[in-house]
Structure 1
């Protein structure tokens, strides 16, 4: 009888856990769908709220009125707004993003050609920021624990604050001038070979790495004051095990949350950095499309950027839930 009750209790706990995960997944999926709908609606309204006639802008001021009207009718811009919206949603569901007013190419092709360059730049910058920030934050926590080496702590804090507040485009310009123009150590434009990645990746990664290193240090110091870490320290565990096995995993929750915000910020940062380095990605594409009034391309790029940010946030939420299931699922 006792064994049966114990088995039933374990089964009930497993069922509750499964239900909690299902509720967590349903909430996150619902939020994602609502966010995507808001993003899609905003991208659709953007073409109607921006002053000026995009058809006239794409054809030029000397184009005859008959040609402008014919082009507007072909694009369906004379239809009622609700009909245009429904057609826009239908096209998106079928994978159709429209046609570029400048080149006449499908927007999906334009985005597909430029997306890999932006993804490569963002992934490389994110990886560099994490690989530099986590060891640096751990080292600074170990060196400055219990108020030691105050001069080192002050220098680290001051330099990280300065680096974190410098805008990406200003940092990019400085890197171009010093390492590209003055020293000639790296290419300053284009995407040709491994060397061309160095400066744009640094421009994107330096600021987030400085912020993340400070957060890692603060979180690790806070974890080291916890009771279970005092117990581990009393057992004379090696410093390597103390920091890597006990302190770092417990400090990863806030670190991962900040990483999600950093990645979202990097998405916006690529727009400016790509234009400084003439990087053939979505950032330079959207700026050129805005200047050329090519609104279908602007819409497509905005959607890709927005969905990218939403997917990054979803991935961070899932990772946090896996690391700390009880608190994350309950709060989510």
Structure 2
């Protein structure tokens, strides 16, 4: 397989390159050289995807598959797809479950209504990009909608946020209930599924994420505490207490989305189509342990103030204390 990664130096792109090289594929990453180098064995073509002349260089070679993880203006996706269509077999675009119009819905499927394209929100931008790829590649398009992606080299930091805080130890206020279900995908499982799909010449649209309830908030945080060898004491606090002191789920407190939230559907999405197409998700303990191992391999200290001592103290006291 001749694989072109548009990007390939960070998180998912890195995981894709590493896995594809291990398969013996010929892998090329097209990137600016700003955020580091791709994994060993991946060839680099330096360029800016917003520059037509740079994209033209990629048309001198044929590609069995292109994987695009772009989350910027959709015009860049349209330009890349248009340039690469004559020389590429399949275009795989990594979108997001943020494309759905009502993220409070439980059981969202690939056919659920989408947010209108043309807006400035992340979901609208991804919808427009999906449309651009389909308009050019047609049935040769694969759209993957993963949502929450965790694992080594994580970006942005979500699981890492919790690992750092729990590693510091002490009493840690965490949002209940412990059995609140979580839905995510390990970056390596996502990469493996995308490459398997490329090899199988699979097309269509898929929610590429674990089944709902793959793990729970309690199991995730217990795994973080164990992996870090921490003496942290999890103090379960009702969600209403977090709301009372102005703490926002997901944005300020990563991963957590309480029941009744307007985006609770992000942890309740139907992913059976991807599982029927071969998706397998590793246990949360492995994702957490491997992320901790990568994190502690980095140079420098592990700052982890969490919400900060004052806000944590307010949570432990409860509102009005």
Q: If the length of structure 2 is used for normalisation, what is the TM-score?
A: 0.21
More helix by share: 1
More strand by share: 2
Please tell me whether Structure 1 or Structure 2 has the larger radius of gyration of its CA atoms: 1
Q: If the length of structure 1 is used for normalisation, what is the TM-score?
A: 0.20
Higher RCO (C-alpha under 8 Å, 6+ residues apart): 1
